[in-house]
Amino acid sequence: MTIHVALAGAGAFGIKHLDAMKNIADVKVVSVVGRDLAKTKEVAEKYGIAHVATDLADSLRLKTLDAVILATPTQMHAAQSMACLEAGKHVQVEIPLCDKLADGQAVVALQKRSGKVAMCGHTRRFNPSHQWVRKRIVAGEFNIQQMDVQTYFFRRTNMNALGQPRSWTDHLLWHHAAHTVDLFAYQARSPVVKANAVQGPIHPVLGIAMDMSIQLKAANDAICTLSLSFNNEGPLGTFFRYIGDTGTYIARYDDLFNGKDEKIDVSKVDVSTNGIELQDREFFAAIREGREPNASVAQVLPCYEVLHQLEQQLR
């Protein structure tokens, strides 16, 4: 059975999903949704997608549609996820699930009522680097004492990953911290029980903090220190240092190194070395098998509960 998919959001991350889906058997992208019709048509032509729309509702009316991947602005995620579930479609929404806890709770409640697969793009769970560490943790060969994480970008203006102007404002807490808060609890295999945050000045135009520091503690006493910045002129991205009882590991997206910066081969960890592709494979496998996916909206909700607590602190 071929799963027919719509992609909403034809920007930098939407393209990554289109490239990933080319490698997955029995998946066909039948519709693409974008804010700019001309740019969206260009993407559709490049990837051989028949249906183009500027409104998600148009795609949801397609009779053959089974599932939707949302790579749209953060502020639209929860409402669009609910629209997909209400239309009887499976949905994978890019991180973050929401930027208000109540919205995330509403998505989880609707998923339970609908019985459809609803998953959030917490890619770090799927990166081969983090999967390699996870396998050691599950086997009882490695336990986290501390995670030290740096999330650094140079984004003093509203630009996306391709260096193009954005129609929306990104957020250190509700987007970028979500990756680490979820991954820390997932890898520690223990819920976050204590969280603290401080932030730098609010940007006069963007209206967000450009620098932030977060401390986390899990119920099993593992700790995490997370530094985030949109002001960083240097190596960009997120770098995870796992400090454990039997070793130290540094994850840089899909690549992994030991504490001496020697590269670890993660090519045999999974069927691909591309975290986005592995994330999408899990989504479609869960649909086919009628099961809850890894990074289901219910599984990641505790992360957003922590982000909500931190937001209350920062206010």
Same CATH topology for 3-123+275-293 and 127-269: the answer is no
pTM of the full predicted structure?
0.94
CA 164, CA 87: separation in Å to the nearest integer?
32
What is the per-residue pLDDT across 106-159, written as a single tens digit (0 to 9) for each?
Answer: 999 999 999 999 999 999 999 999 999 999 999 999 999 999 999 998 877 766
Mean pLDDT of the chain: 95
Per domain, the residue ranges of the chain are 3-123+275-293, 127-269
User: Which of the two residues, 168 and 63, has the higher pLDDT score?
Assistant: 63
- Indicate the range of 186-195, 201-210, 218-227, 285-294 predicted with least confidence: 201-210
Max Cα distance, the chain (Å) = 54
Q: Topology of 127-269 in CATH?
A: Dihydrodipicolinate Reductase; domain 2 (3.30.360)
CA 75, CA 27: separation in Å to the nearest integer?
28
The strand order across the sheet containing 263-264 reads 192-199, 211-218, 223-229, 144-152, 237-244, 248-252, 255-258, 263-264
CA 266, CA 170: separation in Å to the nearest integer?
31
Give CATH for domain 3-123+275-293.
3.40.50.720
What is the per-residue pLDDT across 145-199, written as a single tens digit (0 to 9) for each?
Answer: 999 999 998 877 766 666 666 665 678 999 999 999 999 999 999 999 999 999 9
- DSSP letter, residue 292: P
pLDDT band at 232 (very low <50, low <70, confident <90, very high): very high
Q: How many residues does the chain have?
A: 315
Q: Please work out, in degrees rounded to the nearest 5, the angle formed at the alpha carbon of residue 135 by the alpha carbons of 134 and 137.
A: 60
